[in-house]
Structure 1
Amino acid sequence: MNKFFKTSKVALRFFNGSLNRSNYGVRQLSQFAGDFETESRRLLEGVVTNSANYVPLTPISFLERAADVYRHKTSVVFGSCVKYTWEETHSRCLKLASALVQLGISRGDVVAALAPNVPAMQELHFAVPMAEAVLCTLNTRLDSSMVAHLLKHSEAKIIFVDQQLLQVAQQALSLLSKDKIKPPILVLIPEYENSSPTNDIHEYENLLSSGSSNFTVRLPKSEFDPISINYTSGTVSSPKGVVYNHRGAYLNSISTFLCHGMGPMPTYLWTVPMFHCNGWCMIWGMAALGGTNVCLRNVSAKNIFESISLNKVTHMSAAPIVLSMMANSSPNDRKPLPHKVEIMTGGSPPPPQILSKMEQLGFGVSHGYGLTETYSAATICLWKPEWDSLPLEERAVLKSRQGVQVLCVEKVDVRDPETMKKVPADGKSIGEIVCRGNTVMSGYLKDAKATEEAFRGGWFHSGDLAVKHPDGYIEIKDRLKDIIISGGENISTLEVERVLYSHPAVVEAAVVARPDDQWGQTPCAFITLKEGFDEITEQAIINFCRDHLPRYMAPRTVLFEDLPKTSTGKEFSDYVQPMQLNELKLPRRGNNDITGGCRYKSPKLCSIDTDKFLERAANVFGHRTSVVFGSCVKYTWEETYSRCLKLASALVHLGISRGDVVATLAPTIPAIQELHFAVPMAGAVLCTLNTRHDSSMIAGLLRHSEAKIIFVDHQLLQIAQGALSLISKDKTIKPPILVLIPQSKNSSHPLLETSYIHEYENLLASGSNNFTIRWPKTEMNPISVNYTSGTTSTSKGVVYNHRGAFLNTIAIFLVCGMGPMPTYLWTVPMFHCNGWCLIWGMAALGGTNVLP
């Protein structure tokens, strides 16, 4: 095992929930599959975990599938000189992985890259993990000193360097050599248009051609193995190496393209740096969808509009500064859009004025929020159809909110950073954004202290202050470190910046704290003016702010100058303070940092589970219709969630314990939808029986599954009673409890007067919606049993687990081309393969189930 795995053990232990201050003993994560198998075997006889039904999640699989499914589709375009298909990209990545191994790269070694958005960066994102190594993409704006520092910290064995950045890299390697540190091997990525041979260093294409396309991919031994390191910007502290794992990269890739509203074979323009959060994981995501990557070395408004027109771009992502550049571009640089182009933006909240302009230009803008530590977007401002009719300015204000948690994040909340209590969802009470889930980093490389601090209380702490609105949407107010305290009043720099952006002369703005003898701190604004507005004065800006803000929030000082920018779209103000420190005596950020007072608690492993779809639906789509059944039943997702909690509670009261089987014999009705969530919530296993079976077959399946309860539709009661009668003849078997599902909510049935039959609505009403969900011990725990038809042999009980149900749910609604909030007519029986898993899928998307 190499040095990276040794030094990253702390981060991996942390992710597994076993790190504390005194105990560093931990099981190996590669043992996870075995643990899953042991747990599952305790619950259902015959369940196994092996290579046929358990494969570690890794984005490498996206490329392998793309080479088969989309083999002749264009994978990447770069100017007029590069165009590869997915089959060619796959072959090139295999060769590159082979060449890396020939250069001595082994499991867990770090391979660095210093390059802009060029095809080699796409290939490295697959080839490096194919060699079982770890990719470390470096910010192209770093100087040689910082590059040297990060190469030393990551212990990179190889660095791939773009031609335009060769001098920076060579200086960095020289600095390492002076410190008696063996520098990494340098591989030059030439300019594709002006390639020239090099004699003293490796050249990318020559290295690639030395590899073999028959290379056997080295898949990760565990999906928790690291896949990449992404260094934070280091604008307010030393850069930290954020470790991503294969599992998180796989899930976040899916989550990101779902947020983006992408279907199969999109065309994606690269303006987000591929080095930043691995291009928001979209490099891997585009392989999953078989899309076309349009690489752009130099990002300018003119290049963007030309590329959109030439390549028929459908989607792109962009930092707020890129949106500003496009919105304020010269009409001469613009070209008509071939169709509506969807843009996802992240970073600091885009000013409503910029969002409005982009909409007028024909772009659809979605706003996401995330950090390097969350693989990219953790929330998305999910657009509601009813907002379409609002005035443009109101729509822009709504779009600037950070929104709700994305699909593959387990939980995002706003909490008091000291007590960890939830803040009221009133749009006013401020707390810190915290999150947990499979797309939260494994930890900081070689920095256990920072990892522990980030994960205190069992949550990842973002350091961002926000409010939660009554509709559940989060809105950032500021960084914890950026709040200005003036005369005891808290001032949000973002609130002041939003007002500044609304001034017709302002193109860029940043607000920071300036020391003040009387008030402690006062706001100081840095402004970049649009062309033709040079006559604007400092006092005019101050007066404008006073007209739109409380007087104490208005800047006392305004400086007019171009602001430094980062290629990742970080806040300009992160760079203003160090730059102006001596001139203005501005304090470095961090003086007002809040330290969490809660006791440290290691985060637990976040399993992937379909009940989390319902939990999220209740929060994100709470007031949207969940199910419609004729004219008598119509529930929202909030109501469905409450009913499922009550039903799960009632099942436990009836004696259902973990691993017990609960059967159903019913057509496609609302109760079956609810049982698909309530039964797993109680820790039990759902067994949906074919409604065409006779009493004898039902009796056989109930015996085989050892069902403790059976829910029966009123039309099938006679068959069920016949089955129970047959079971009762065997005095060694106790028949399951029978729960009758009546024709309608208020209907009655003569047999309900007997003591041995429960009624569905009465049973549900006896439960509590404060029930604590019994989450599976592992995601390999069984969630359902589906019997084969038995037409050619004896029926077999096919066991699904929580992990498989979650992943297949996503696969099915992607195949169906579903986006958020669809309306789905049920003609497939819900008892068949759990309705092809779409019962769970509709909760994931917040859709409406229409039952015939």
Structure 2
Amino acid sequence: MTQGNPALEAAGSTVATLFENRARTHPGRVALQSGERQVTYGELADRSRRIAAVLAGRGVTRGDRVAVVSENRTEYLEVVLGAAVLGATVACPGLRAAPGELVACLDLVEPAVLITSEGATRKFTEVLERRTEPKLEFGDGFESELSTTVPWREPSAARPEDVLVVIYTSGTTGVPKGAAISHRAEIARSSATRAEYGLAGDDAFVAWSPLSHMGAFDNSVSTLISGGKVVVVDGFDTAALAHAVATERLGWLLLMPGTVRRFAEVLREKQITPKGVRLCGVMPDLIGPDEIAEITRLLDAPFANTFGATETGCPPCSGDALAVGVEPRRLSKVQSAYCEIRLVGPDDEEVPDGQPGELCMRGPTVFSGYWNDPAATAHDFRGGWFHLGDVFVRNPDGTLDFVDRAKYLIKSGGENIYPAEIERALLRHPEVLEAVVVRRADATWGEVPVAFVARAGDSVTAAELIELCGTQLAKFKRPREIHFVAPETLPRNASGKVVRGELEKHA
């Protein structure tokens, strides 16, 4: 509790208290839906308080961690709200984690209670058998205990700067770090996203991407504190997504790279007429322009021209959307109004407009550091700004062009090559589903770019793609080789991102 300043006390709203206000305002409105199951706001408030009592009965208090290892399901979000009442933190290792990775994620946060689903228990049997924390498993036993538990009656113990969630970053080397995201940051992320994209309080959201990641988690929490419905879907289930598009008035329909073309095919085949979508898509830099034009036309919704991170939310670049039915020729980003940014060189001094620099940000949506990793936190927050590790160029009109991750830079014959430039060029071919460019050692040039490409068919050749790159890029930036691969053979980490280091070994 903040002592001695009643004004600060009056600013002490948290995710738990804001949600419970929504529950009092419209208890009969549907808050969660999964298949035929619906949970109203009143029922969700009751269930979350019962979960808080169950956790407290196992010794969980303010500041403790509750780890949840599960597929997407309504109970996942119920636990988040229940832990929030106690001021506890939910840690979210993903189901895609390898056993050793899961152990490292759990050891990092030292959970007071470990909650799993039946599927997670089956996948990680050996790991879970060695864990000593009290355990719960979603299912009949969990429901039976809730039904006989008296709801927690104490006021919410959380404070705005308490950590609501630890989301593990998708680092491509080593053990993922745990990004600690506070109640304050989650509320600010909700406010910024809804203000900049015009999302209504009662818009529905489909949580199909993993709730252990920022996209589904942030938007689900935002929806529940705003009064909308969260439709919970376990994974990229095109039938369920199409049904949601046809029957729900949606705010932001997240569509990740690799899913846009497939979902467009489903919408065409089923002749789906959207009930209403305000915004679709994410990460347009990794999606072909033709795909963007088609999906926006089918959904009659603009495409989010975002750039954010687990650590920052949708800012720093969430101020723009791509027009419906248009193949974008540039993907310049507009800075969010809810943050400050700088572009800096290796000396952390600002670079002039037109020169690449690392993006640094500060603002209310920023996370609270990496859990139990003071060295990484100090490094990335040096100078009072969070350093994202992403390189941008500021244009004369103030917009920002994404260049690449700083660590992916290829040094070839004294020239700088950023893989994202080549990947965007390759994605302009309609047959290219996914493109990943990595460095390969070269006796003459030091390093050269090599591309791994997943294609829709086999009609396009490597020579044609290299020629395509030559029409858009300087000669030295063209990939020296193109390896065709099946999308499922690309090595991925726990959050689904391609592990470039593995591809570099193959290159």
Q: TM-score scaled by structure 2? A: 0.92
Matched with 2:54 is: 99
Structure-1 separation of matches of 2:41 and 2:365: 27
State yes or no: 1:158 paired with 2:107.
no
State yes or no: 1:230 paired with 2:167.
yes
Structure-2 separation of matches of 1:299 and 1:374: 25
Secondary structure of residue in 2 paired with 1:57: coil
Structure-2 separation of matches of 1:117 and 1:345: 20
Secondary structure of residue in 2 paired with 1:84: strand
Aligned with 1:382 (options 320, 327, 351) = 320
Structure-1 separation of matches of 2:474 and 2:398: 27
Q: Deviations over 1:278-313 (max 9, x none)?
A: 735222211222101111113133331122213343
Matched with 2:75 is: 120
User: Which moved further from structure 2: 482-491 or 293-302?
Assistant: 293-302
Aligned-pair CA distance for 1:571: 4.5
State yes or no: 1:509 paired with 2:438.
no
Matched with 2:352 is: 423
Q: Deviations over 1:141-183 (max 9, x none)?
A: 1122211111111101222212222223322223xx3xxxx52
Matched with 1:548 is: 472
Aligned-pair CA distance for 1:232: 0.9
Structure-2 separation of matches of 1:335 and 1:501: 26
Aligned-pair CA distance for 1:73: 1.0
Structure-1 separation of matches of 2:276 and 2:190: 25
Aligned-pair CA distance for 1:456: 1.4
Secondary structure of residue in 2 paired with 1:507: strand
The answer (yes or no) to whether the contact 2:242–2:266 under 8 Å persists in 1 is: no
Matched with 1:337 is: 274
Q: Deviations over 1:28-64 (max 9, x none)?
A: xx55x53xx4xxxxxxxxxx6475xx24131112211
Using a 3 Å threshold, how does the CA distance of structure 1 residues 434 and 582 change in structure 2: closer, same or farther? Answer: closer
Q: Deviations over 1:728-762 (max 9, x none)?
A: xxxxxxxxxxxxxxxxxxxxxxxxxxxxxxxxxxx
State yes or no: 1:368 paired with 2:368.
no
State yes or no: 1:87 paired with 2:42.
yes
User: Which moved further from structure 2: 295-304 or 112-121?
Assistant: 295-304
Aligned-pair CA distance for 1:548: 2.5
Structure-2 separation of matches of 1:256 and 1:279: 13
Using a 3 Å threshold, how does the CA distance of structure 1 residues 451 and 278 change in structure 2: closer, same or farther? Answer: same
Structure-2 separation of matches of 1:152 and 1:236: 18
Aligned-pair CA distance for 1:435: 0.3
Matched with 2:193 is: 256
Alignment of 1:724-803 (within 5 A): none
Aligned with 1:65 (options 21, 24, 28) = 21
Q: Which amino acid aligns with 1:382?
A: D
Secondary structure of residue in 2 paired with 1:528: strand
- Max Rg structure: 1
The answer (yes or no) to whether the contact 1:368–1:379 under 8 Å persists in 2 is: yes
Q: Which amino acid aligns with 1:63?
A: F
Secondary structure of residue in 2 paired with 1:124: helix
Aligned with 1:299 (options 236, 242, 246) = 236
Aligned-pair CA distance for 1:445: 1.4
Q: Which amino acid aligns with 1:469?
A: N
Q: Which amino acid aligns with 2:332?
A: R
Aligned-pair CA distance for 1:227: 1.8
Using a 3 Å threshold, how does the CA distance of structure 1 residues 131 and 556 change in structure 2: closer, same or farther? Answer: same
Q: Deviations over 1:617-674 (max 9, x none)?
A: xxxxxxxxxxxxxxxxxxxxxxxxxxxxxxxxxxxxxxxxxxxxxxxxxxxxxxxxxx
Matched with 2:98 is: 143
Q: Deviations over 1:424-464 (max 9, x none)?
A: 1xxx3111110012221211112111111101122110000
Secondary structure of residue in 2 paired with 1:527: strand
Any gaps of 5 or more consecutive residues in structure 1?
1-29, 38-47, 191-196, 198-202, 585-852
Aligned-pair CA distance for 1:347: 8.1
Using a 3 Å threshold, how does the CA distance of structure 1 residues 445 and 379 change in structure 2: closer, same or farther? Answer: same
Aligned-pair CA distance for 1:482: 0.7
The Cα RMSD (Å) is 2.5
Using a 3 Å threshold, how does the CA distance of structure 1 residues 330 and 379 change in structure 2: closer, same or farther? Answer: closer
State yes or no: 1:188 paired with 2:126.
no
The answer (yes or no) to whether the contact 2:168–2:178 under 8 Å persists in 1 is: yes
Aligned-pair CA distance for 1:277: 2.5
State yes or no: 1:472 paired with 2:409.
no
State yes or no: 1:529 paired with 2:443.
no
The answer (yes or no) to whether the contact 1:319–1:345 under 8 Å persists in 2 is: yes
Q: Which amino acid aligns with 1:403?
A: V
State yes or no: 1:433 paired with 2:359.
yes
Structure-2 separation of matches of 1:488 and 1:132: 53
Q: Which amino acid aligns with 1:295?
A: V
Structure-2 separation of matches of 1:210 and 1:154: 30
Q: Which amino acid aligns with 1:78?
A: S
Using a 3 Å threshold, how does the CA distance of structure 1 residues 117 and 145 change in structure 2: closer, same or farther? Answer: same
Structure-2 separation of matches of 1:484 and 1:323: 29
Q: TM-score scaled by structure 1? A: 0.56
Structure-1 separation of matches of 2:104 and 2:495: 23
Any gaps of 5 or more consecutive residues in structure 2?
none
Aligned-pair CA distance for 1:422: 4.2
State yes or no: 1:451 paired with 2:377.
yes
The answer (yes or no) to whether the contact 1:229–1:242 under 8 Å persists in 2 is: yes
User: Which moved further from structure 2: 412-421 or 515-524?
Assistant: 412-421
Matched with 1:397 is: 329
Aligned with 1:414 (options 343, 359, 364) = 343
Structure-1 separation of matches of 2:19 and 2:461: 55
Structure-1 separation of matches of 2:262 and 2:495: 12
Q: Which amino acid aligns with 1:319?
A: M
The answer (yes or no) to whether the contact 2:121–2:128 under 8 Å persists in 1 is: no
Aligned-pair CA distance for 1:566: 5.8
Aligned-pair CA distance for 1:553: 0.7
Matched with 1:520 is: 446
Q: Which amino acid aligns with 2:441?
A: P
Structure-1 separation of matches of 2:92 and 2:362: 25
Q: Deviations over 1:484-508 (max 9, x none)?
A: 1111111121110111011122111
Q: Which amino acid aligns with 2:329?
A: V
Q: Which amino acid aligns with 2:42?
A: E
Using a 3 Å threshold, how does the CA distance of structure 1 residues 155 and 56 change in structure 2: closer, same or farther? Answer: same
Larger relative contact order (CA 8 Å, sep ≥ 6): 2
Structure-2 separation of matches of 1:567 and 1:323: 21
Structure-2 separation of matches of 1:583 and 1:342: 38
Aligned-pair CA distance for 1:345: 1.5
Alignment of 1:596-635 (within 5 A): none
Secondary structure of residue in 2 paired with 1:251: helix
The answer (yes or no) to whether the contact 2:453–2:482 under 8 Å persists in 1 is: yes
Structure-1 separation of matches of 2:87 and 2:493: 29
The answer (yes or no) to whether the contact 1:341–1:364 under 8 Å persists in 2 is: yes
Secondary structure of residue in 1 paired with 2:59: coil
Structure-2 separation of matches of 1:142 and 1:62: 32
Q: Which amino acid aligns with 1:368?
A: T
Q: Which amino acid aligns with 1:546?
A: G
Matched with 1:789 is: none
The answer (yes or no) to whether the contact 2:436–2:453 under 8 Å persists in 1 is: yes
Using a 3 Å threshold, how does the CA distance of structure 1 residues 583 and 486 change in structure 2: closer, same or farther? Answer: same
Matched with 2:506 is: 583
The answer (yes or no) to whether the contact 2:17–2:156 under 8 Å persists in 1 is: no
Structure-1 separation of matches of 2:493 and 2:234: 12
Structure-2 separation of matches of 1:567 and 1:95: 35
Alignment of 1:202-221 (within 5 A): 203-220=141-158
Using a 3 Å threshold, how does the CA distance of structure 1 residues 414 and 323 change in structure 2: closer, same or farther? Answer: farther
Structure-1 separation of matches of 2:70 and 2:492: 15
Q: Which amino acid aligns with 2:176?
A: P
Identical-residue share of aligned pairs (%): 23
Q: Which amino acid aligns with 1:540?
A: E
Q: Which amino acid aligns with 2:352?
A: V
Structure-1 separation of matches of 2:123 and 2:492: 17
Aligned with 1:168 (options 123, 127, 137) = 123
